[in-house]
Amino acid sequence: MSATNTFTPTVTASPTNVTLPLTSVASPAIKLLQHDSFIQKFSGEDTDTYSPAQILQLSEDVLSNSQIHSGADKISFVRSHLVPGSLASDLMTAIAFDPKVLNYDYNQFKVNFLQIFGVPQPKDNFQWAFDAAQTMLHHFGNTDYRRAQARSAQLANQAVSSLKASWFQNDTLDEESFRLIMEFQYYIQLLNPEECHITSTLQYRKGESLLDFH
């Protein structure tokens, strides 16, 4: 009786190419916030030479030609142009400059920035007149024509912004209001430093005279 050899074939399975569905993973957005070397860094310690209004204006000039539109980015842009370790930089830790607390409102940040460095812009404010008086006191007759032109333009911008808040009507200023404003400006410039300081704490509103004011 012959033995029967049982042959069991070995089957080798070839690897099957399995195509898995691709899951779309969104790459995190990377936002580059430019730093403009054209803008001088602000320390907040010598505001007569480089004012808070100037750093904000320079920043806004650059931002107007950029893709930066959100309040958070505008705040970050200004903060990036502060001198590290300076008074201005240290003040950014205060609640008044916390972007989250401000709800990323750049306009509120701007108001607080001007307020903390002594350039408030509330309605009926004449801070520009006192700034002009201080400029005359410290720089009258000793400023070259270029710096005089720059400082004059800055003071004029402050004056227009402040006056439009309460003295202009339909972008016009009547003759009587103009006379009162000029009288007030000359008055401030003629006061001695002590009287000028006292006067700066008071309000001067449309319809009032200097007799009511002081």
SS (HEC) of the chain: CCCCCCCCCCCCCCCCCCCCCCCCCCCCCCCCCCCCCCCCCECCCCCCCCCHHHHHHHHHHHHCCCCCCCHHHHHHHHHCCECCCCHHHHHCCCHHHCCCCCCCCHHHHHHHHHHHCCCCCCCCCCHHHHHHHHHHHHHCCCCCHHHHHHHHHHHHHHHHHHHHCCCCECCECCHHHHHHHHHHHHHHHHCCHHHHHHHCCCCCCCCCCHHHHC
**Is a pLDDT exceeding 90 seen at residue 35?**
no
How many domains, the chain? 2
The whole-number pLDDT of residue 96 equals 92
Under the banding of pLDDT at 50, 70 and 90, the label for residue 167 is: confident
User: Which of 21-30, 31-40, 65-74, 122-131 is most confident?
Assistant: 65-74
Which structural domain range is residue 197 located in?
127-213
In a domain, 32, yes or no: no
Q: Are residues 94 and 149 in the same domain?
A: no
Q: Are residues 112 and 56 in the same domain?
A: yes
Residue pointed to by tokens 């912004």: 161
The whole-number pLDDT of residue 195 equals 85
The whole-number pLDDT of residue 201 equals 74
The whole-number pLDDT of residue 80 equals 92
More confident residue, 28 or 202: 202
pTM for the full predicted model: 0.49
In a domain, 6, yes or no: no
Which range, of 108-112, 117-121, 174-178, 204-208, averages the lowest pLDDT?
117-121
**Is a pLDDT exceeding 90 seen at residue 98?**
yes
Domain boundary among 116, 147, 171: 116
Q: Are residues 63 and 97 in the same domain?
A: yes
Under the banding of pLDDT at 50, 70 and 90, the label for residue 126 is: confident
**Is a pLDDT exceeding 80 seen at residue 150?**
yes
Q: Are residues 166 and 186 in the same domain?
A: yes
The whole-number pLDDT of residue 6 equals 55
| Averaged pLDDT of the chain | 79
Domain boundary among 97, 116, 135: 116
More confident residue, 126 or 175: 175
In a domain, 77, yes or no: yes
Q: CA-CA distance, 203 to 126, in Å (whole number)? A: 8
Q: Are residues 64 and 102 in the same domain?
A: yes
In a domain, 164, yes or no: yes
In a domain, 2, yes or no: no
Domain boundary among 90, 116, 142: 116
Q: CA-CA distance, 97 to 177, in Å (whole number)? A: 36
**Is a pLDDT exceeding 80 seen at residue 42?**
yes
**Is a pLDDT exceeding 70 seen at residue 21?**
no
